[in-house]
Structure 1
Amino acid sequence: MKKLHAFASIISILCIAVFLISTIIVDLFCSHETIARLKSLIVLPGLIILIPAMAITGATGFKISRGRKGKIIDKKKKRMPFIALIGVLIMIPSAILLDMWASTGQFGVKFLLVQLIEIICGSFNLFLMSMSMRDGFVLTGKLKINR
């Protein structure tokens, strides 16, 4: 269970990091055709990889933490609803909208605004997920933090 949790967590973080970095690079340096292709790839196969990885991360995390107490567990449990809500309410709809608009050549102000929101929220989710991963390393003894 712990190995599945770790694997799914890594896949989730890598997906979001790749989506963010590639989005920024492609938006700054590439053509509209390349942007449209990237937006399409983020939706398919990207979301098909990310969504199950996130669900597995959450489910295994709750199962592993069942019956455990402590500040670190509490922090991880408090972060998860924010990560999930941002993903479900902002990130997934944004990815789908941006893909639809890009596929029809709509790169105007609304595209840029949604893109900016997606980058900000994705960065925040990546930060929260990284904090949870760090706390997981502390819990497993793979990382020592002097506080």
Structure 2
Amino acid sequence: MPKIIHPVAGVVALLTILTFWLSTALSEIFASVSVITTVKTMIPWGFLILIPALMATGGTGFQLGKKMRGPVLAAKKKRMPFIAANGILILIPSALYLSSKAQAGAFDAGFYAVQALELLIGAVNITLLGLNLRDGLIMTGRLRRKAA
């Protein structure tokens, strides 16, 4: 069962984070203040999908990783603390802060500074999760490694 849950939950988590990031970036560039407010208000509600998906991914990954060894798995394990720390220490608090500021109509320097940080760290996490997805596909044989 973990062999099914892990990749599904991982893809759900990655797509959820990617949706948050794209919604934020596109609304900031192209949309009105009311759309930005809606996006910033809805993102914390998306945690109801994201957090269980990340927990399922981490739990099943830990379980599956007990049986495996190798440099690809080691790389995945090395990335996970950074992904988790970015999410817990920066991204979740930033999303809650930005939601609060947007609902108050306070689009000030503080809002945009935190928004920039959130987009930067979000891009880092998307990259790290994408690398973990790629490595998972390599480990299962669904993707070939490039020759060096």
Q: Into which bin does the TM-score normalised by the smaller protein fall?
A: over 0.9
Distance 1:101 1:70 in 2: 46
Count matched residues: 146
Q: Secondary structure at the match of 1:105?
A: coil
Query: In structure 2, what is the Cα distance between the partners aligned to 1:40 and 1:5?
Result: 29
In terms of mean alpha carbon deviation, does 24-33 or 89-98 score higher? Answer: 24-33
Structure 1 residue aligned with 2:54: 54
What amino acid sits opposite 1:51 in the alignment? I
Q: Which runs of 5+ in 1 are unaligned?
A: none
- RMSD (Å) for aligned C-alpha atoms: 0.7
Hey, what's the Cα distance between the residues in 2 that align with 1:95 and 1:52? 17
Indicate the residue corresponding to 1:131 in structure 2. 131
Specify the SS of the correspondent of 1:122: helix
Identity of aligned residues (%): 40
Are 1:4 and 2:10 an aligned pair? no
Aligned to 1:94: 94
SS at match of 2:67: coil
TM-score by length of 2: 0.96
> Normalised by the size of structure 1, how large is the TM-score?
0.97
After TM superposition, where is structure 1 displaced by more than 2 Å over at least 4 residues in a row? none
- In structure 1, the residue matched to 2:33 is 32
AA aligned opposite 2:97: L
Deviations 1:86-138 (A, max 9, x none): 00000000000000000000001100000000000000000000000000000
Q: Aligned partners of 1:126 and 1:54: how far apart in 2? A: 13
Q: Give the corresponding residue for 2:144.
A: 144
Aligned to 2:14: 13
Residue type at the aligned position of 1:48: L
State yes or no: 1:80 paired with 2:80. Answer: yes
Question: Which letter maps to 1:127?
Answer: T
**2:23 is the counterpart of 1:22:** yes
Residue matched to 1:110: 110
Quote how far apart the aligned CAs of 1:67 are.
3.2
